[in-house]
Structure 1
């Protein structure tokens, strides 16, 4: 069967000057070339991509296809994401990685994913579109304030840092005396610990997450305010444990709210993915075989020699996240 006959049977569109069709929208080869040049002007991309790289050309085409898909998706759900919203969300993502500057993050993404800054911004826009669709479908309860507060209470111990010391002494009388000394002079801890050194004595006060506290001490620690102590008989130690809570730091909800919401948003994105996948699977998408085929939401080399590839089994994961 001739190439033209196969194309006719498939009902596809294959104009030489068109790189891809998404429903009634077209991405011309000139648009693709201009998009490639635009990204090559990004110093981070120029540092890792050779001019004329066909793999990069395919990746850029994929980005353009995703842009058209999400425009159609947004129109269908009557969702609009402003540039200001994209900037705000991007700033939120960048602030979560306080160890790197924005430019360092963009350079890393360019190096590892071959995505230019413009593509990172578009991926953020797609995330926000999916969030808006999740809200339309009442799938965003996990990101609402009551759910965030509930999650905060669930993980509060993981977020809490405690400065704790414990000394194991032979009997209750010694334990009472040791605790009284500690309460009167917390700086005496190291000397007391040296006096009763052993496998069940911590040599110095140590800061750690509350979840790292030895299990037998947890109930007593949770009931002891900062600057106070306790004694508890633990048979396995062969004596009485004197515990001293030097400090206890619990971050307020407002300080960790964004972190908790980011975690919750991941679950919401997963929940909305099947809806997005089903919508996209119904779109008529044709890829010029000169550039490859669309497989799992990515433009890849055409291994089958076909003229057209309908987008299947893609969804919320159609592009890498920043």
Structure 2
């Protein structure tokens, strides 16, 4: 039973402690079909249940989640190893196995915990490591990467003008996280090492700029020449759809610019790029940057 169904069921049981009748919603149907709870009337418009139904369901959930659904909060997720200590199904309400791990890579050896780790000579995404096991980083810079494709293509990035600063950097993949979420293990890892030069490499679009600004990076790694952006996006085939899905990020950046202007601050370094993406209503992904060998630079945030 997932958290939304658990909370829905608990609410109904607390309102009808001896049994009752509730409207047949999508969650009520799920409760009935997946947990054999109660009885649907002939019109299937209402779900009725008795005290015996409540007790049977409570006993079943107690065995699965080790809580009493009638009054206990939904249990916090645990690792599969912890679940396996007392539950036949170790996957129930478990954290993803990858939750505590991050993907790291480098153009040179990976230097952490006073140790240098040689990478495979084969093309790879890097190595997965448990974030908490890394106590020190012997790289001057850490680069936070938005898209996975970059991790396997570090050697193809056009870093000519800033090569010395990034050839020895540690690159960290942001991870596959939900939209607007910025609390993943990779984010926490990136923010933890605040004595290093922190750089964010993201897409050239409103969301990418927002990621850079909210990641707590010191610099944004992005395209060096705005004219290159114009030339590439105009050559790309297909309709632009991504720009029109980023209304929240566009508003976020507009508000940031207005605030800076009202406080008589210097124009943000990212503003020229945001302006051209806005005027063209086009986005440029990191995969485009790699494929078209676009020169990169660092903008202070």
**Of Structure 1 and Structure 2, which has the larger fraction of its residues in helix?**
1
- Give the TM interval when normalised to the shorter protein: under 0.3
Which has the higher Rg, Structure 1 or Structure 2? 1
TM-score normalised per structure 2 = 0.23
Higher relative contact order (CA 8 A, sep 6+): 1
